[in-house]
C-alpha cells in the first residue's frame, strides 16, 4: 500500500490523502475553520483527511506540498498585493519594459530566492506540527504550482493516451499557464507563460476596478457580463481592454506594459469610468476570445484533439463554453475543483508517481469518478437530531425520504439537503445543496431574499437527469457535465421548465448532468420529482448563507435554517421542518 498526503499552501488551503493511486479524502480548510477562503497551512484539513481515510499518520509514505515560491497569510489571502514579490513587480512595471521582466533568467532568480525562503519558512513554522503527528519532515517534498494543476487535469481524467493539457490562473511560482502532453504515466511541459501575461491577473484587476473583491468575486463578474452585451458603450470598453491583452501567435500577451497594481492604475487612466456591467462584458469577452484562440492554435500545432484543463481560469464556465465551440475538441476534461483547491490533489498525484518510480512499481493513478471526498456524517446526524428543540422543529424519519422531499419540491417548497460525504470544491452536487422547482421564476427572488442574499444579477444552477438532458441543453457533442464546470445554451421550447435555473440575460445554464452511479440518492430524489411534475431538473445551489463556506456538518445546516427563512432540510433519512 502506498499512501501520500497532499497539501496546498495557496489561497485555498486544502489537504488530501491518496491511497494506491486513488483520492480517498480531501477537504478545504474553510469547511473546518468556517472562514471563507481560508488560506495558508491547512492544519485542520491534514488531521481531518487522515481521519476520513482511516489511516494513521505513521502510515503516510510521502508528503507532497504544492507550490514552491508562494505562501499565503490566512487573513490577507484575497489581497495578493500584500506579498513582496507582487509589490515589487507592480512597481517595476512602471519603468522596466515587460520584455525584461519576463526573461527566463529573472524568473529563475525569482524561483531560486523565493523557493529557498519559503521552504525555510515552511519548516521553521511547521516541523513541530508534523513531528507531533508522527510524520518525519524528511518525507516532505515541494512541487511546482502549475505542474500540480497539470497533474489534476491529466491524471484525474478518464484517459491515459495522448492528451494535451492546459493550465491557466493568476500566478503560480512565476507562471500563469503551462501547455504540455500527458501520456501513460508521464507529463511533459511544452510551453510556460510568464505571470506577467496572466489573464487571471487581468481579470482580477478588472474585478477590483469595478469595486469587487479580487481572487474571490470573479464569478460575479462572469455572471454580470451578459447584462452588458449589445451596448455601444460596452463595445468601446471592450476595444480598450483588447488593446491591453490578447492572443499573440501561439500564446497570449500583455500588450499594455503594466501588471498588478500598476495595471489597475492604467485601467483608471484609460477606461474613463464606465458602468460596471460594461467592464464585466469587456473583460469577459477578451478572456473568452484569448483563451479559445490560444487553445485552438495549440491543438492544431500538436495535432492532439483531446484536452484536459485545470487552473482557476477554467472555473469560468462561459469561457469553457467558448473553447468547446471554437476549438471543437474531440473530448474535454476540466478538473472540477479547477482553482487552487486542486493543488493539494495535484501535488499528491505527483508525489505518488515519484514514490512509485523510486520503488520500481507501476504508477496506477486512477481517474476520478466523483468528488464526494469529505467525512461521513451519519453519527453527527443522530447527535443533531437528538439535540433539536421539537417545539421549533418537526422531525420525520422515513425510508422514503426522497419521495417526501420531491413532494415538497413539487409543491414549490424550497428544500435543503445535508447528507453523506461532502463535495470537494465550490459546487454543490446534491449532498450540501438547496433545491427548488426550476419552473417558477419567482424562486430566484425567494432564494435571494430569504436565504442566499446574492447579488441580483447572479444566476443559479441546475441539476438535470441524464435521460432528460437533451430536452433542455444544446449539446451536439454530447459532452458530459457531472461537475457544473461547463456552460451550455438552452433549448427555447423547454426553457419555461427550467427558467429559474438559467441566466436571465443570455439564457445559458451551468448544469450538473446527473447519472445514477454518481450519486444514487440524489438521482432518486430528482427522478421522483420528475415523476410528479414532468420536469427532469431541479434548481441547485450550495447550502450556505452568503459570505459563509458551504455547510459541512448537520449542526451547521440547522444554523442556516435558524438564520434564514429556509423551512425544510433533509438530514440523511430525516426531514426537518420548521413549525409555523
Matching residue, cell 440518492: 521
To the nearest 10 degrees (0 to 180), the angle between helices 199-209 and 276-302 is 170
Domains 3-157+340-359 and 378-578 share a fold: no
Give the other-Cβ count within 10 Å of 420's Cβ.
20
The CA-based dihedral angle spanning residues 266, 268, 271, 273, taken in that order and rounded to the nearest 10 degrees? 180
To the nearest 10 degrees (0 to 180), the angle between helices 317-327 and 276-302 is 40
Q: Quick check: helix, strand or coil at residue 571?
A: strand
Give the other-Cβ count within 10 Å of 99's Cβ.
9
Q: Quick check: helix, strand or coil at residue 164?
A: strand
Q: What is the pLDDT of residue 77?
A: 46
For every residue of 91-113, DSSP letters joined together read: HHTTTS-HHHHT-HHHHHHHHHH
By the 8 A CB rule, do 412 and 437 touch?
A: yes
Q: Is 95 exposed, middle or buried (0-12, 13-18, 19+ CB in 10 A)?
A: exposed
Grid cell, residue 429, equals 452536487
Q: Quick check: helix, strand or coil at residue 335?
A: coil
Rounded to whole angstroms, the Cα distance separating 270 from 43 reads 44
Q: Quick check: helix, strand or coil at residue 532?
A: helix
φ, ψ of residue 368 in degrees (nearest 5):
-80, 145
What are the CA-CA distances from residue 510 to residues 315, 317, 463 (Å)? 11, 7, 9
Q: How far apart are the first and last CA of the chain?
A: 54
Element (DSSP H or E) covering residue 349:
helix 342-359
Question: Domain limits of the chain?
Answer: 3-157+340-359, 378-578
The verdict on domain 378-578 having CATH code 3.90.870.20 is yes
Rounded to whole angstroms, the Cα distance separating 499 from 458 reads 14
Nearest CA to 318 among 208, 459, 498, 183?
A: 459
Maximum alpha-carbon separation in the chain: 70
H-type alpha helices, 29-140: 29-33, 43-53, 84-92, 98-101, 104-133
Rounded to whole angstroms, the Cα distance separating 576 from 452 reads 19
Spatial neighbors of 482 by CB under 8 A, at least 6 apart, are 336, 370, 429, 512, 513, 514, 515, 518
Rounded to whole angstroms, the Cα distance separating 293 from 296 reads 5
Nearest CA to 202 among 274, 99, 277, 287?
A: 287
Q: Which DSSP symbol is given to 372? A: B
Segments in the chain below pLDDT 70: 73-95
Spatial neighbors of 429 by CB under 8 A, at least 6 apart, are 371, 372, 423, 463, 482, 483, 484, 512, 518, 519, 522, 540
Spatial neighbors of 178 by CB under 8 A, at least 6 apart, are 146, 147, 149, 150, 165, 166, 167, 189, 191, 192, 193
CA gyration radius for the chain?
23
Q: What is the pLDDT of residue 453?
A: 87
Q: What is the pLDDT of residue 93?
A: 62
246 pairs with which residues across the strands?
253
pLDDT in tens, 99-117: 777 788 888 888 899 899 9
Strand order through the sheet with 331-334 = 186-194, 175-183, 163-172, 306-310, 331-334
Grid cell, residue 314, equals 477554467
Spatial neighbors of 483 by CB under 8 A, at least 6 apart, are 334, 336, 371, 425, 427, 429, 512
The CA-based dihedral angle spanning residues 98, 99, 102, 104, taken in that order and rounded to the nearest 10 degrees? -160
- The answer to whether the pTM exceeds 0.85 is yes
Grid cell, residue 438, equals 426550476
How many residues make up the chain in this entry?
A: 580
Element (DSSP H or E) covering residue 4:
strand 3-8
Q: What is the pLDDT of residue 76?
A: 54
Q: What is the pLDDT of residue 94?
A: 64
What are the CA-CA distances from residue 254 to residues 100, 170, 194, 200 (Å)? 13, 13, 10, 11
φ, ψ of residue 458 in degrees (nearest 5):
-80, 130
- Superfamily of domain covering 3-157+340-359: ATPase, nucleotide binding domain (3.30.420.40)
Q: What is the pLDDT of residue 260?
A: 80
Task: Name the E strands within 217-299.
Answer: 245-248, 251-254
Grid cell, residue 40, equals 495558508
Grid cell, residue 230, equals 449589445
188 pairs with which residues across the strands?
181
Amino acid at each position: 500500500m502506498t499512501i501520500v498526503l497532499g497539501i496546498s499552501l495557496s489561497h485555498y488551503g486544502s489537504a488530501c490523502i491518496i491511497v494506491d493511486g486513488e483520492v480517498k479524502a480531501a477537504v478545504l480548510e474553510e469547511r473546518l475553520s468556517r472562514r471563507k477562503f481560508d488560506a495558508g497551512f491547512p492544519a485542520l484539513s491534514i488531521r481531518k483527511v487522515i481521519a476520513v481515510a482511516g489511516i494513521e499518520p505513521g502510515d503516510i509514505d510521502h508528503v507532497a506540498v504544492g507550490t514552491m515560491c508562494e505562501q499565503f497569510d490566512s487573513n490577507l489571502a484575497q489581497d495578493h498585493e500584500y506579498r513582496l514579490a507582487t509589490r515589487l513587480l507592480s512597481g517595476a512595471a512602471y519603468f522596466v519594459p515587460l520584455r525584461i521582466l519576463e526573461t527566463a533568467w529573472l524568473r529563475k532568480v525569482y524561483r531560486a530566492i523565493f523557493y529557498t525562503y519559503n521552504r525555510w519558512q515552511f519548516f521553521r513554522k511547521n516541523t513541530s506540527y508534523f513531528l507531533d503527528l508522527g510524520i518525519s519532515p524528511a518525507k516532505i517534498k515541494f512541487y511546482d504550482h502549475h505542474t500540480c494543476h497539470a497533474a489534476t487535469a491529466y491524471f484525474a481524467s478518464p484517459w491515459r493516451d495522448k492528451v494535451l493539457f492546459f493550465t491557466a490562473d493568476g500566478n503560480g511560482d512565476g507562471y500563469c499557464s503551462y501547455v504540455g502532453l500527458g501520456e501513460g504515466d508521464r507529463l511533459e511541459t511544452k510551453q510556460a507563460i510568464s505571470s506577467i501575461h496572466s489573464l487571471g491577473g487581468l481579470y482580477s484587476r478588472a474585478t477590483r476596478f469595478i469595486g469587487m473583491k479580487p481572487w474571490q468575486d470573479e464569478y460575479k463578474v462572469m455572471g454580470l457580463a451578459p447584462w452588458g452585451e449589445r451596448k455601444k458603450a460596452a463595445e468601446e470598453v471592450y476595444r480598450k481592454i483588447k488593446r491591453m491583452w490578447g492572443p499573440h501567435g501561439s500564446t497570449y500577451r500583455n500588450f499594455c506594459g503594466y501588471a498588478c497594481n500598476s495595471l489597475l492604475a492604467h485601467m483608471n487612466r484609460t477606461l474613463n469610468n464606465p458602468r460596471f456591467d460594461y467592464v464585466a462584458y469587456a473583460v469577459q469577452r477578451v478572456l473568452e476570445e484569448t483563451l479559445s484562440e490560444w487553445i485552438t492554435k495549440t491543438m492544431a500545432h500538436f495535432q492532439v484533439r483531446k484536452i484536459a484543463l485545470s487552473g482557476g481560469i477554467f472555473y469560468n464556465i462561459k469561457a469553457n463554453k467558448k473553447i468547446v465551440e471554437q476549438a471543437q475538441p474531440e473530448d474535454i476534461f476540466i478538473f472540477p475543483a479547477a482553482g487552487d483547491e486542486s493543488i493539494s490533489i495535484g501535488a499528491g498525484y505527483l508525489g505518488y508517481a515519484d514514490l512509485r518510480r523510486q520503488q520500481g512499481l507501476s504508477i496506477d493513478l486512477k481517474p476520478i469518478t466523483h468528488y464526494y471526498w469529505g467525512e461521513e456524517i451519519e453519527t453527527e446526524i443522530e447527535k443533531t437530531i437528538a439535540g433539536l428543540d421539537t417545539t421549533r422543529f418537526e422531525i420525520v424519519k422515513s425510508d422514503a425520504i426522497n419521495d417526501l422531499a420531491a413532494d415538497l419540491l413539487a409543491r414549490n417548497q424550497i428544500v435543503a439537503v445535508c447528507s453523506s460525504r461532502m463535495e470537494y470544491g465550490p459546487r454543490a452536487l446534491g449532498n450540501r445543496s438547496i433545491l427548488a422547482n426550476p419552473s417558477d421564476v419567482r424562486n430566484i427572488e425567494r432564494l435571494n431574499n430569504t436565504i442566499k442574499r446574492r447579488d441580483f444579477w447572479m444566476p443559479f444552477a441546475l441539476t438535470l437527469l441524464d435521460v432528460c438532458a437533451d430536452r433542455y441543453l444544446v449539446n451536439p457533442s454530447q459532452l458530459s457535465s457531472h461537475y457544473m464546470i461547463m456552460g451550455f445554451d438552452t433549448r427555447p421550447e423547454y426553457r419555461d421548465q427550467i427558467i429559474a435555473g438559467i441566466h436571465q440575460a443570455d439564457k445559458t445554464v451551468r448544469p450538473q448532468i446527473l447519472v445514477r452511479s454518481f450519486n444514487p440518492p440524489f438521482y432518486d430524489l430528482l427522478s421522483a420529482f420528475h415523476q410528479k411534475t414532468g420536469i427532469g431538473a431541479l434548481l441547485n445551489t450550495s447550502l450556505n448563507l452568503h459570505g459563509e463556506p458551504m455547510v459541512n456538518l448537520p449542526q451547521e445546516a440547522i444554523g442556516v435554517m435558524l438564520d434564514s427563512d429556509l423551512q425544510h432540510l433533509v438530514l440523511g433519512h430525516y426531514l426537518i421542518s420548521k413549525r409555523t
